[in-house]
Structure 1
Amino acid sequence: MEVNLTRVDQDFHFAATGASGVEINIDGSPEIGGHNAGARPMELLLMGLGGCSAIDIIQILKKKRQQIDSFKINVKAERTPGEVPSLFKEIHIHFILGGPLEEAKVQQAIQLSMDKYCSVAAILYKTATINYSFELVK
């Protein structure tokens, strides 16, 4: 795997691309001189966790012949205050799925993703406690 980052301004804004060719903007916070022109690096980690688990869950539920009409994910995290580096210490990921889904199959898919398949979760488990929950909506 390879990614490339190119500095866009004289501050902290970078344009990043990977093998997909999709460009993602990354920037620092205004507190350090950034301009809110992109996501923060630690936000990208949480987005990666949500995306990785979502892909797993969708694949698993498709194999179980479950129809997903909607899917939202909320990820909240706490970092170790006053430490450098300031790592995530606790992460909670909440899945909200809609459709004619069987609760037990959704629960199993989420558990398999978070505990077995999601590579991003496996990395983050090394420094943080990750909890997860879900709800089914009509």
Structure 2
Amino acid sequence: MNISLQRINNAVHFEGTGDSANVKVHIDGSPSIGGEGLGVRPMELVLMALGSCSALDLVNILKKQRQQIDDVKIDVEGQRREAIPNIFTDIHISFRLIGDIDQTKAEKAAELAVKKYCSVHDMLAAGGVNITYSIEIH
């Protein structure tokens, strides 16, 4: 797996691309280091990686169980320590599902998606990050 980063401006705005698709991701730093709000920050990307990794597996598991998923929304909130580097200490993933979905199946699918299949979870948890999740069905 490889990614490329190309600086876009004279500040800290980068454009990232990966092997898997010709899609561009814009990354920018905080204003304190010259960021101009032109992309997501690297630590936001970490939360996006955790949320999307878990979500892909959750949806896949529920589809295999023939659950009707009409919509999915995931919010991921991370708490960082004060000391530099400001790593995450706690992260909470909130899954909101809309559809004809069995609560018990959804809870089991979320547990498998987050704790068994998501490699991003395992990397963060191995570093001491406390990761929790909740699931709501509407």
TM-score range, shorter chain: over 0.9
In structure 2, distance between residues paired with 1:125 and 1:21: 30
Aligned to 1:11: 11
In structure 2, distance between residues paired with 1:59 and 1:93: 17
In structure 2, distance between residues paired with 1:52 and 1:21: 19
Runs of 4+ displaced beyond 2 Å: none
Q: Counterpart of 2:49 in structure 1: which amino acid?
A: G
Give the deviation of 1:128 after TM superposition: 0.6
In structure 2, distance between residues paired with 1:42 and 1:25: 13
Provide structure 1 residue ranges, at least 5 long, that are not aligned to the other structure: none
CA RMSD of aligned residues (A): 0.7
Identical positions, percent: 47
In structure 1, distance between residues paired with 2:89 and 2:55: 22
Q: Counterpart of 1:13 in structure 2: which amino acid?
A: H
Aligned to 2:134: 133
Aligned to 1:78: 79
Q: Tell me if 1:58 matches 2:56.
A: no
Give the deviation of 1:31 after TM superposition: 2.2
In structure 1, distance between residues paired with 2:59 and 2:39: 27
Give the deviation of 1:30 after TM superposition: 1.3
Q: Tell me if 1:100 matches 2:106.
A: no
Q: Counterpart of 1:94 in structure 2: which amino acid?
A: S
Paired residues in the alignment total 136
How big is each residue's C-alpha offset from its partner over 1:72-112, in whole Å with a ceiling of 9 and x where there is no partner?
A: 0010010111x221110000100000000000010011000
